[in-house]
Chains A and B, each alone.
Chain A
């Protein structure tokens, strides 16, 4: 059940977004894609989620040719940078969405869905927020609803695009520890994108430092920090640590 990404190439109209990207991660890994904007990390994440397709290369996950599985059948819980909550639905409707759109015979009964929503609300510490609309939530709360919504479909893979990007420093720190705890409890293969190397190193088991559509270095945070392979990685760590 490991994730194998092999020689992914993706060109947009004017620039190459991914230029032969390969990586392997074991089942249950917590993987960070880190790099400056335009390095291709979000494109790779979207390819994993089925929202974008590479020009060539392959992705294998859970013994499947992952690219042949349409987004809606992948059960890849995707958490969007701007949350992408459904504005016209309450918190509970948002969380239940992935269950209510299932075909009749696969859909859990109403009470089961309600129970699942309560569980998830407890997990993301938003008990009692069932009937709120997204507009009535703070940024951190929206982020947690988005995560609960992604977890509701019992994802095989969790994908997070700059999950803490729009939050202030204090909330960021809080949510980080908490995301790690959830990952530990569920054991889902998790990939998250960030431009903040400190965040990547603090959270992930594996870090892929990306630049200009390529992976500059891939390894554990300790390895990358101890022995930067390229001047870019050294510089990236240096510069960011200096801030």
Chain B
């Protein structure tokens, strides 16, 4: 150890460290950190029991269950369809591939309210998809299935875009090795290719899940928002705010925030674990 002991930063010849870091930390604090602190502090003015009362209300519980459960189901759907889409985009060549590829990002670019009314219209009983389904007795709009559809829409690009670069960089050697060792294509895909995509797939699905848990705009139109049936947690925050129940809104907000942190933590642990294994 040098005589200087603890050193905040390594010496550098470049200028502007103080200014850029100072501004970064200041802006981050004002815009992000202090407001989040305000949220974390807020619900406790009604005490822990008050907080618990808000959270254990059946309507709140049902909403949280729908937001988390729906997000989980949507993430699983995307974890199945996402790899297929990514595989087709990376491995196959066909006319219109570029267009298909560019469209994947639509849920990132399309405002959620627009997606919301479009999905609602499309899957309602007189929409292009909803109408044929309604003849089969299947209702999607204004049911939890509608919520899952919207959450799947919003999550798809996360899985595809996480997998694509990994799939692109994936060496063909192990696939060829598997073939020379006598594996058929299915065995090669399931035992060699998929396991090496697993980390990226998990990461993508987690990102999709995290986004879907908090999703609001694309869901509320198609959901129908029936309390305890198709009402999502973020909507309940809005309703509580409209009733000026700040503490109640904050309580639900804190639960969702805690879930976000848990997801970030899980992702970091996942990446660490993967980093160690390769």
- A positions within 8 Å CB-CB of B: 49-51, 70-78, 80, 82, 84-89, 97-98, 101-102, 133, 135, 149-150, 152-153, 159
Contacts and interface: CB of A to CB of B under 8 A. Distances in A.
A71 B179 contact: yes
B278 A77 contact: no
Contacts of B263: none
Contacts of B187: 101
A76 B184 CA distance: 15
A71 B180 CA distance: 5
Interface of B: 171, 173-174, 176-184, 187, 191-192, 195-196, 198, 277-278
Which 4 pairs show the lowest CB-CB distances between chains A and B? Answer: A98-B181, A84-B173, A78-B180, A101-B183
A189 B47 CA distance: 80
B180 A50 contact: yes
Contacts of A50: 179-180
Given A85-B174, A88-B196, A88-B277, 9 more contacts: A49-B176, A49-B180, A72-B180, A76-B180, A78-B176, A84-B171, A84-B173, A87-B174, A159-B180
A229 B181 CA distance: 38
A77 B195 contact: no
A98 B192 CA distance: 12
Given A72-B184, A98-B182, A102-B182, A88 B177 contact: no
A45 to B, nearest CB: 11
A51 B277 contact: no
Given A82-B171, A87-B196, A51 B183 contact: no
A87 B181 contact: no
B89 to A, nearest CB: 22
Contacts of B177: 78, 80, 84-86, 149
B176 A80 contact: yes
Given A49-B180, A76-B180, A97-B183, A86 B277 contact: no
Contacts of A88: 195-196, 198, 277
Nearest to B278: A135
Nearest to A89: B195
Contacts of A159: 180
Contact of A74 (B173, B178, B180, B191): B180
Nearest to A96: B181
A70 B277 CA distance: 33
Contacts of A76: 180
A84 B277 CA distance: 16
A9 to B, nearest CB: 22
B176 A84 contact: yes
Pick the most buried of B173, B174, B178, B180: most chain A CB atoms within 10 A of its CB: B180
Contact of B182 (A85, A89, A153): A153
A51 B192 contact: no
B270 to A, nearest CB: 15
Contacts of B181: 72, 77, 97-98, 101, 149-150, 152-153
Nearest to A136: B277
A236 B177 CA distance: 32
B243 to A, nearest CB: 52
Contacts of A70: 179
Contacts of B182: 72-73, 75, 98, 101-102, 153
Contacts of A51: 176, 179-180
Given A84-B171, A88-B195, A133-B277, A97 B180 contact: no
Pick the most buried of A74, A97, A102: most chain B CB atoms within 10 A of its CB: A97
Contacts of B278: 87, 135
B36 to A, nearest CB: 38
A7 to B, nearest CB: 24
Contact of B178 (A49, A75, A87, A97): A97
A72 B192 contact: no
Contacts of A82: 171, 173
14 contacts: A50-B180, A51-B176, A74-B180, A75-B182, A84-B174, A85-B174, A87-B174, A87-B278, A88-B196, A89-B195, A101-B178, A101-B183, A135-B278, A153-B181
